[in-house]
């Protein structure tokens, strides 16, 4: 039933996908979070191996050459993010369904790679303005990084039609309930 399945949540930064993913992990014991690798500096409160595998650019490049990544990309000016094959194998060996929280391009790569064993869900904000407001509310970004993220989000929103499911995150309670239904249906089919 769960063997070889993956669930991919994609969205522009600030859409609420991480909030939805954390909720799903709390309510569904069949799911396990896929920890991505990245080259960006660790932020306050983050834990290596839990939030990300924090790698140097040299180590990341070595893993690219070794074919260790299912997908990877340079997301923001010199910062690389990717999904390690070993992470997926680790989760499947525990009998769990892999749950991804990735950007849109990475999600599309994963969707193609896993085919019918993947459920790809695009989390859509109510508007670009709401998305920008959410980014500002976090108080973790500068005006410049917010501008960069909003510009990237506008581009990412154009990929919505490439996903099986689109989840509008206008009302968080409703979005969480809908996410639970989508995930549960996929797991049992």
Tell me the C-alpha distance between 180 and 166, whole Å: 13
More confident residue, 83 or 140: 83
Residue labelled with tokens 């996410």: 179
More confident residue, 135 or 11: 11
What mean pLDDT comes out for the span 25-51? Answer: 94
Residue labelled with tokens 């989508």: 182
Q: What are the pLDDT digits (tens) for 46-62?
A: 999 999 999 999 999 99
Domains recognised in the chain with CATH numbers = 6-188 (3.40.50.300)
- CA distance to 21, 83, 119, 145, 174, per residue, from 183 (Å): 11, 21, 8, 32, 14
Task: Report the DSSP pairing between strands 118-124 and 6-10.
Answer: parallel
Which has the closest alpha carbon to 4: 132, 92, 129, 71? 92
Q: Residue 171 has what DSSP assignment?
A: S
Tell me the C-alpha distance between 68 and 45, whole Å: 27
Q: What are the pLDDT digits (tens) for 103-157?
A: 888 899 999 999 999 999 999 988 888 878 877 887 777 888 888 888 888 888 9
Burial (CB < 10 A; 0-12, 13-18, 19+), residue 11, is buried
């Amino acid at each position: 039933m769960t063997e070889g399945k993956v669930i991919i949540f994609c969205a522009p930064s600030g859409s609420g996908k991480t909030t939805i993913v954390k909720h799903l992990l709390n309510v569904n014991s069949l799911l396990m979070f896929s920890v991505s690798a990245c080259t960006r500096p660790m932020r306050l409160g983050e834990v290596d191996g839990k939030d990300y595998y924090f790698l140097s650019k040299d180590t990341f490049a070595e893993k690219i050459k070794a074919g260790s990544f299912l997908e990877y990309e340079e997301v923001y000016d010199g910062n690389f993010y990717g999904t390690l094959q070993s992470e997926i194998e680790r989760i499947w060996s525990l009998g769990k369904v892999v749950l991804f929280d990735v950007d849109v391009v990475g999600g599309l790569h994963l969707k193609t790679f896993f085919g019918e064993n993947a459920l790809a869900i695009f989390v859509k904000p109510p508007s670009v303005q709401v998305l920008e407001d959410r980014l500002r509310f976090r108080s973790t970004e500068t005006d410049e990084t917010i501008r960069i993220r909003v510009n990237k989000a506008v581009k990412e929103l154009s990929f919505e039609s490439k996903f099986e499911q689109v989840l509008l995150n206008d009302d968080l309670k409703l979005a969480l309930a809908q996410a639970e239904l989508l995930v549960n249906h996929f797991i049992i089919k």
